[in-house]
Chain A
Amino acid sequence: MNCHRVQSLLSAYLDQELSPEERRLIRSHLFNCAVCAQCFEELSRIKKYLGSLEPPQPQINLVDNFLSFKLHVVETNPWVWAKRLALTAACVFLFLLTSVYLFPVNDPHRKIAGHEVEYRQFHEQFTPYQLVSEQSSNVNLFLQEEEAEEKSNQNKKKDHFYLSLPQHKTLIPGIPVSSR
């Protein structure tokens, strides 16, 4: 091994990252060559210096700082949005609720004629004409609903009839019974 080759391997030799054979060759070269020995001495001193460097002290508490930052991030992401969503939904719900109470367009009381007196007591501001026309339309609606209900009942009965029929095992055409 010449000096150039040895010097290119000195760092790896210093770090004990060479094969035993390479190590043996370099050791014997260093024993006989003052130049390479000097080079090795300097490199090992550099390694020693770097290894003895004082670990710097961070000016902030890294872990605590990181944790508070991270918690802040977590909080501002899904949670705040969930809260905002909930708040918005609650507002919309409240708005709808109050608007229904203040402007009762589809007041169920008006559907039935029997509630007429009660209705009149609470809604004096309506003219009799309005009331009558609304009531008549409501009565129509009521009748329509009754009709629809009756129809669906009939359908249900039909369904029930068909469903309650015993399930006959129908043969699949083309396939002999014995093979199944």
Chain B
Amino acid sequence: MLQSETLSLVRTAPTPDVLEEFEKQVKTYEKAFYHFAYRLTGNHDDAEDLTQEALLKAYRAFHRFKAGTAFDRWVYQIIYRLFIDQYRKKRRRPFVASLDEAPPHLDQEKPKDVPDHSKLPEDYALRYELGETIQKALLRLPEEFRAAVVLCDVQGFSYEEISNILQCSLGTVRSRIHRGRRQLREYLHPYLNGERGKKQ
């Protein structure tokens, strides 16, 4: 009796080949998943937590994953949903009501965005500065816009794939990307008008 009970408990644990398959899939995409999580959260701690949580969730639901469908898109979807559910609660800044308008403090921050790096090696300084500035600008976007823009421009997905991941219509994807980029254009204005980053 005892033996059969133990066996039935063991049977609920995943079989080794499922585990192996999952590991294989994760290893293929882990860097891209982490990059997505990092662009969404803007820091390593949250990005690591988000990726780990998403992987665990994916692992637990792996039996529901249909073989032959895109594993990466499925995990991106989990990351995005977790992010929307959990990480937006941690946001320090309140949600910007008017999406097309920059937050009111933006103008005061503008001079800080263009520090003088003339004494540093120009290329590296610019690259680093630009990376930092772009991430800061991304974090100012509403989460939905940020996710759409990152999936399109960083991850390189098509609108249809993005609509799949974000579970919204093609029209919504198009509008989110367009509005997200327009906001980024305002935030990154100094870099786009040749004041900085001309060498890029």
Contact = CB atoms under 8 A, between A and B. Distances in A.
Interface of A: 8, 10-12, 15, 17, 39, 42-43, 45-51, 53-56, 58-60, 62-63, 65-67, 69-70, 73-74, 77-79, 81-82, 85-86, 89
Nearest to B189: A42
Interface string B168-200: 000000100110011011001001110000001
Interface SS of chain A: helix
Interface SS of chain B: helix
Given A46-B184, A66-B56, A89-B2, A51 B158 contact: no
Contact of A46 (B26, B32, B135, B185): B185
Given A49-B200, A58-B48, A85-B5, A66 B55 contact: yes
B110 interface: no
Contacts of B188: 46, 49
B81 interface: no
Nearest to A86: B2
Given A39-B185, A70-B59, A74-B14, 4 more contacts: A12-B178, A49-B134, A55-B32, A55-B34
B103 interface: no
**Looking at chain B, what size class is its interface with the partner chain?**
35 or more
A62 B52 contact: yes
B139 interface: no
Interface of B: 2, 5-6, 9-10, 12-14, 23, 26-27, 30-35, 38-39, 44, 47-48, 51-52, 55-56, 59, 130-131, 134-135, 149-150, 152-154, 156, 158-159, 174, 177-178, 181-182, 184-185, 188, 191-193, 200
Given A51-B153, A78-B13, A56 B35 contact: yes
A51 B34 contact: no
A39 B14 CA distance: 53
A50 B9 contact: no
8 contacts: A12-B177, A46-B188, A47-B153, A51-B154, A56-B47, A66-B56, A78-B13, A81-B9
Contacts of A48: 200
Nearest to B180: A11
B6 A85 contact: yes
A10 B178 CA distance: 8
